[in-house]
Amino acid sequence: MAGGARSASVVDVAAEAGVSLGTVSNVLNRPERVSDKTRFKVEQAMARLGFVRNESARQLRAGQSRLLAYVMLDVANPFFTDVAQGIDAAATEHELSLFLCNSANDAGREAAYLTHLSQQRVQGILVTPVDPYSPLLEEIVKHTPVVIVDRTRNDHRFCSAAADDVAGGRLAVEHLIDRGHTRIAYIGGPPSLGQVRERHEGALLACREAGLAEDALLHIGTDGLGFADGREAGERLIGIPAKRRPTAAFCANDLVALGLLQQVSLSGRTVPDDLAIVGFDDIDFAGAAAVPLTSVRQPRRELGRTAAEALLDEASNPDHEHRQVTFTPELVARRSTVT
Amino acid sequence: MAGGARSASVVDVAAEAGVSLGTVSNVLNRPERVSDKTRFKVEQAMARLGFVRNESARQLRAGQSRLLAYVMLDVANPFFTDVAQGIDAAATEHELSLFLCNSANDAGREAAYLTHLSQQRVQGILVTPVDPYSPLLEEIVKHTPVVIVDRTRNDHRFCSAAADDVAGGRLAVEHLIDRGHTRIAYIGGPPSLGQVRERHEGALLACREAGLAEDALLHIGTDGLGFADGREAGERLIGIPAKRRPTAAFCANDLVALGLLQQVSLSGRTVPDDLAIVGFDDIDFAGAAAVPLTSVRQPRRELGRTAAEALLDEASNPDHEHRQVTFTPELVARRSTVT
DNA sequence: CCGCCTTATTGAAAGGTTTCATTGACGTCG
DNA sequence: CGACGTCAATGAAACCTTTCAATAAGGCGG
């Protein structure tokens, strides 16, 4: 880092180059209006002084930045990084930069990021919220375009892009029932997550429609939706006496499913013979597991791209109307349920 | 978004509350110096006007932000998200926010992010660079603390935290040689990545030390270090006539190894009997694959945390000295190489 | 050779916050 | 009752850039 000297400003550059500060600014912003000779002088001066434009001052004057941000629930979950890539693609096309923020499923962190971003006057914020009905979101959307990703609010106060989690849960369990299973586990948590609740709801629906008994669906709760949670749930599942033990499991996401798969394999059991497994999200690792995982596919990149495009419309189109896009998920059957 | 009205400033709040703007600022920054009654009035006024502090102006005056950024090579690679979590932990302890930027292995994107961040006057930048010797990095480190993650420069112009990739590559191949393999593939690319080159170098070293023939190590190049690249390399590998085909593969990272594993399994072959596989990084998915993957472990979170701490020292300690921390990787043997 | 037009450059103002030296009010002590 | 000390509130200055109306210089046609 530089020693003590304050970093050079346009005024310093102007003095060094022997021109006015307006000219320096022109070199920066409208180089075509400056004669070659002058521009050269100014560029030399900038190089000598190590001038770095101050983005804060620039933005203060300009009032806006060319910046988008995505506040994601879990940066370690490939589902969200894929969504982020979709957002990134759209942002790049519009020559905007994207910052990623990891709330790590913590409402406090999420709030801090949202506040900071709105104070930073970013063009817009995409967020997969811990709680889509948080009052802070309503507060922020008054000033800054906000689009909700992977969740939907049924008032129409936000744009959103999400998959139909109820339908997805239903698909998964219908598939298991089709394959003859009548004792099925639903594995996931915490229930504070809408994703967990809705996928469960879909699972229940499928059971009901198939006329299964009330207790056909066994809910095994987990603390989170990571790998370790899946393994731990696996242990508990294996601990259940064989005659009562479910013959199939539907996991709230693929990380949990992969953890479960691993635990079951380690215990010497076979998937799908001893336990059939369905995941959710269809991340790349699902299809690539050595027992490829049946999963409910969400269009991950598409989700991100759609959300980003809605955001850009909200940010630039004066008569923008909020829209809630819902994607219908799709079952991808693989060996973890099919012999 | 709000209608047409410009968003309220401290001046507007002051007028609304019937106090001076200095008082509003005090409410914001030193609430204890303001009488309860006045503070209440001001807070009411803020709420009525929907005041949102302008971070640009604040920073312009303050000169600094409480912001760190990590420019990562590939947000879709769990290795880097784990590193990011380590950075995040350290940042959180110091009450700093962390922004993540995905360069996606593109030097142009990396440059754009680095420039933007330094103009934004962030406290510091962590970066896993496409090329650690890029002149732009040297330029930026003159003004903004920069720490290199997962790479090292051997001049001492930057702090860095990285694992010893040569040693890692050597470990991997020594392990394979120990298990009796004499025809080994090294799978990875592009060679522009230091990680790819150095792990290869380590592999060569191991071969040489074991006295294997020059052509014992077959280099199979890939375009990148993703899943798909591993699968594609798998096809090529399988295409080699059995008697010349390597009996083991060392992959430049776990994503490639998992792709390879999948392709080999799909072709009806068995790991490790038909092909032993070693990966690199030991991401969670490696141990969790149904044929658990032998891998070279890097202390991922530790790497991030160490880098972040070096950065914080550089940012706050006037007589900071650059240090290059190198971690020694460790082989984790699992079933993909051990029957 | 003058007036006009074009092109290049100028300098002041604005943008919203924080800081700090100063003022004002009020209570207390001598 | 006056001087002093404390606490609260004030408002001007500074941070750095961009914009824009105004000026200066230079070239051309008449």
A60-74, A79-93, B2-16, B318-332: which has the minimum mean pLDDT? B2-16
Task: Indicate whether B3 pLDDT > 70.
Answer: no
Distance B32 CA to C29 C1' (A): 27
Q: Which residues contact B148 (CB under 8 A, 6 or more apart)?
A: B126, B127, B128, B129, B132, B137, B158, B159, B160, B161, B162, B307
Nucleotides on chain D within 7 angstroms of protein Cβ: 7-12, 14-21
pLDDT value of residue A5: 61
- Domain B67-163+300-327 belongs in CATH node 3.40.50.2300: yes
pLDDT grade, residue B5 (50/70/90)? low
What does the pLDDT read at residue B255?
Answer: 96
Over range A193-221, report the average pLDDT. 96
In contact, A321 and A158? CB cutoff 8 Å: no
CA of residue A310 to C1' of nucleotide D21, angstroms: 39
CA distances to A14, A16, B257 from A21, in Å: 5, 10, 57
Selecting from B50, B112, B289 the residue whose C-beta is nearest the C-beta of A142 gives B50
CB contact under 8 A, A100 and B102: yes
Position B1 scores a pLDDT of 44
Q: Indicate whether B2 pLDDT > 50.
A: no
pLDDT above 90 as % of chain A:
91
Q: What's the one-letter identity of residue B108?
A: G
SS3 for B32-86, per residue?
HHCCHHHHHHHHHHHHHHCCCCCHHHHHHHHCCCCEEEEEECCCCCHHHHHHHHH
Footprint of strand D on the protein (CB under 7 A): A 6-7, 9-11, 21-22, 24-26, 28-29, 51, 53-54, 57-58, 60-62; B 19-23, 25-26, 33-35, 37-38, 57, 60-61, 63
A290: pLDDT strictly greater than 90: no
State yes or no: pLDDT of A202 exceeds 70.
Answer: yes
Give domain B165-299's CATH superfamily.
Response regulator (3.40.50.2300)
Query: Would B10-53 and B67-163+300-327 be classified into the same CATH topology?
Result: no
- Both tokens of A141, joined, read 């959307």
Binary contact (A284, B119; C-beta < 8 A) = no
Question: Phi first, then psi: what are they for A162, rounded to 5°?
Answer: -155, 160
Residues B55-95 pLDDT 10s: 999 999 988 899 999 999 999 999 999 999 999 999 999 99
pLDDT of B245? 96
Q: Could you give the percent of chain B with pLDDT greater than 70? A: 99
The dihedrals phi and psi of A231, each to the nearest 5 degrees, come to: -65, -45
pLDDT at A302 over 80: yes
Instruction: Please state, in angstroms and rounded to a whole number, the distance separating the CA atoms of residues A39 and A28.
Output: 9
pLDDT value for A221: 97
Give pLDDT, residue B64.
83
Residue numbers of A between 263 and 302 with CB closer than 8 Å to B: 265, 271, 284-285, 287-292
Q: Could you tell me which of A93, A90, A140 has the C-alpha nearest to residue A118?
A: A140
What is the mean predicted confidence (pLDDT) over A158-174?
A: 98
Q: Which residue is nearest to nucleotide D9 (CA to C1')?
A: B23
Tell me the per-residue pLDDT of A93-115, one tens digit each, with 9 for 90 and over: 999 999 999 999 999 999 999 99
Per DSSP, the three-state class of B325 is strand
Asked if B102 lies within 8 A of A121 by C-beta distance, the reply is no
Mean pLDDT of chain A: 95
Rounded average pLDDT over B168-188:
97
Q: Flag if A81 and B85 touch (Cβ within 8 Å).
A: no
> Domain coordinates of chain B in residue numbers?
10-53, 67-163+300-327, 165-299
Whether the pLDDT of residue B254 is over 50: the answer is yes
In which band, very low, low, confident or very high, does the pLDDT at A2 lie, cut at 50, 70 and 90?
A: very low
Lowest mean pLDDT among A57-66, B107-116, B241-250, B321-330: A57-66
Class (C level, CATH) for A10-53: mainly alpha
The percent of residues in chain A predicted with pLDDT above 70, rounded, is: 99
Nucleotide nearest to B10 (CA to C1'): C16
At A12, the pLDDT band (50, 70, 90 cuts) reads very high
Per-residue pLDDT, A3: 42
Q: Do B290 and A289 touch (CB under 8 A)?
A: yes
Assess whether pLDDT exceeds 90 at residue A4: no
User: pLDDT tens digits for B92-122?
Assistant: 999 999 999 999 999 999 999 999 999 999 9
**CATH number corresponding to A67-162+300-327:** 3.40.50.2300
What's A251's DSSP letter? E
